[in-house]
Amino acid sequence: MHKKKILFPVTDIENVIAILNRIALFGGLSEKQLYAVFKVLKKLIYEKDEIIFCQGESPDYIYIVKSGKVKIYVEQETTSLELIEFDVGDCFGESSLIGIEPHTANAIAIEKSELLVLSGQAMLSLYKEEKDAYLMIVLNIAREVSRRLNKADDVYLHYVLGNRKK
């Protein structure tokens, strides 16, 4: 387990809105809706090699990389397998938060990183204050999860068909 981090306010609106505009999760949102998202974002700072979350933990946030890099990896017995690396403008953790499922992997900062975070509580606030923005974000998350599932199906099918030929 790792210790809880201090949440900082997010103040640099133009820079953050520019990042949000590039993320598929916030696609289709108006300027007003992006500002509503900005208002509920917080910032976490992680040092190099600091753990962000661990496999099996309950999700707290949707994470957006504002600066730095994050690695997602799994550990099985004595093997560590890197799944993906996230850079500035990348987003992760959304399917765990929406699905209310434990994290299926670990996340670690591979360099000093600032992460913008959108909590479940912030999502509820968006639902109450800016319902259309909330619905668009949830739809975008569903689309992203569907894309990932299709990719996973392709990998699984390739693996199964490859093993049959042997």
Per-residue confidence (pLDDT) for residue 46, from 0 to 100: 97
Q: What is the mean pLDDT of residues 29-37?
A: 95
- Please state at what angle helix 120-129 crosses helix 31-40, rounded to 10 degrees: 140
For residue 3, tell me if it sits in a domain.
no
Residue given tokens 């998202």 in the structure block:
37
| Structural domain for 44, as ranges | 8-164
User: Is pLDDT above 80 for 119?
Assistant: yes
1 in a structural domain: no
What's the total number of domains in the chain?
Answer: 1
Does residue 98 fall inside a structural domain?
yes
- Per-residue pLDDT of 44-100, as tens digits, reads 999 999 999 999 998 889 999 999 999 999 988 888 888 899 999 999 988 777 777
Residue 2 lies in a domain: no
Whole-number pLDDT of residue 155: 77
Residue 164 has pLDDT above 70, yes or no: no
Q: Is residue 117 part of a domain?
A: yes
Residue 29 burial by CB count (10 A; 0-12/13-18/19+): exposed, middle or buried? buried
Question: Is 87 contained in some domain?
Answer: yes
- CA separation for the pair 67, 74 (Å, rounded): 23
Query: ∠ CA 90-92-97 to the nearest 5 degrees?
Result: 150
- CATH number for 110: 2.60.120.10
